[in-house]
Amino acid sequence: MKETFIDLLFKTLPHQEASNLLDSLKQEPTTSLRVNHKKTTLSPENSSKVAHCESAFFLNERPVFTADPAFHAGAYYVQEANSMWIGRVFQYLRQTLGGGVVVLDLCAAPGGKTTHISSLMEGSDLLVANEVISGRKNILAENVSKWGDGNTWVCSADPAQFGRVGPLFDMVFCDAPCSGEGMFRKDRNAQNEWSLENVALCLLRQQRIVSDSWNSLKEGGYLIYSTCTFNAQENEDNVSFICNTLGGTLVDVSEIDAYGALYSIKKNQYRCLPYKSKGEGLFFAVIQKTTSCKTLNKNKPTHTKAKDSPILGFSLVEFKSKSWLIPNSHTPQLNLLNLIPGLFQIGTPFGDIFKEKWKPHSAVALLHKASNLPVVNVSDDEAMAFLRREFISKKTKEAGAVVVRWNGFDLGVANAIKNGLNNLWPMEWRVRNVFQCNSLFSR
């Protein structure tokens, strides 16, 4: 590690804490995941519980996740354990708000926090997941679809565009792009790329992101600011900037730490240090907005009509020349469609109607609600072939659209014909190499 980083660390933390942290950064990183309990009650083999997240586990070793059909089915999400504290923060804050909260995950890709928050939301809550980098937005949309909650809209917009819509959101999560010191164990190249100049650039970028999007947060709403770095400039100093310049008050969420795992330099600002809270580095603080802001958006609300759908509890909506499934509880929120910038996915992709026949999108089968389509069970080899988007040669009594199921996990949709299954797994989701099936879940 660079001497400049070590010097900065000792300026930021007390001597013993800095020494302990440096020792921990020399150790191997951990591998952790969150199980989607709406899809399975199983626990992964050879694992131990993550104390601060009831659905999460540490793995004894890192497998090839691409070779596990359960991974593609959205039965779990591979996520760094300490980043799961953000989901615990959401649970705590959610208790203070009424029904139908609207939440923005401002820097969402690839989707760890997004899928965690969506799994904890209540029936009429809506999550908007944003990724400004165009090359990363599609993996975010894919992971949201596979997770299968159906309560998330995905967009790609600059933070300033949200600032112009006015106060739409009850909560804004900003996991700000940072110098990445907390990821040194997982990415050794990050150590070589680190510099004081990069810290300074990140600091300005973080302040711009929060300042530009601040107007989109309702008065009394919560900004959850986080980074995966250790220095005070990008953490405590930035929180002071937000509170003093933009108008916010720090919120005490220390009740979420029943394990003594979090560490604070300043009150109501929390650090996850790898030797105290097993996982990588994370900083977070909750800031409640105390200044009012004007409604800037002059667009009129969209009066989009929802139609009945084949999926119980969901409605069908036309948007961007495509059909989407949204929970019935979200139909009152359709007036947000032309207010949220860069929106390109709402709820779950429905598929296409071709010659008066429904050609479902595989995301329909990945919803945790029943899809009402016939089911065809497949073997390990057939499941891996399906994920490669190959034709499955298999006799079946079914005809037309079917759900492809492996070991109780719904993988996607196929079109059953006389001699097999025409694969409807999305081309952009396909597995490009041949793997032998190897799952974390035994049955």
DSSP string, 118-140: HHH--TT-EEEEE--SHHHHHHH
For residues 149 and 312, give the distance between their C-alpha atoms in angstroms, rounded to a whole number: 14
Sequence-separated (6 or more) residues with CB below 8 Å from residue 215: 162, 163, 164, 165, 166, 167, 293, 294, 296
* Phi, psi angles (nearest 5°) of residue 223: -100, 125
Residue 127 to residue 150: CA distance in whole angstroms: 10
How far, in Å, CA of 225 to CA of 242, rounded? 10
Cβ neighbors of 119 (< 8 A, separation 6 or more) are 34, 36, 37, 38, 55, 87, 147, 149
CB 27 within 8 A of CB 185: yes
In angstroms, the CA 208 to CA 204 distance is 6
Separation CA 351–CA 237 (nearest Å): 48
- Residues 6 or more apart from 100 whose CB is under 8 A from it? 124, 125, 126, 329, 332, 333
Q: For the chain, how long is the longest CA-to-CA vector?
A: 71
Residues 11, 4 contacting (CB under 8 angstroms): no
CA 14 to chain centre: 33
List all residues 6 or more positions away from 188 whose beta carbon is below 8 Å from its beta carbon: none
Q: Cα separation of 122 and 128, whole Å?
A: 14
Beta carbons of 236 and 284 less than 8 angstroms apart: no
SS3 16: helix
Contact 227, 283 (CB under 8 A): yes
Spatial separation of the C-alpha atoms in residues 240 and 255, rounded to whole Å:
22
Catalytic (active site) residue 178 = no
Query: From the CA atom positions of the chain, what is the Rg in Å?
Result: 23
DSSP type of residue 107: S
Q: Pick the catalytic residue from 174, 178, 228, 272.
A: 228
Q: What are the catalytic residues? A: 228
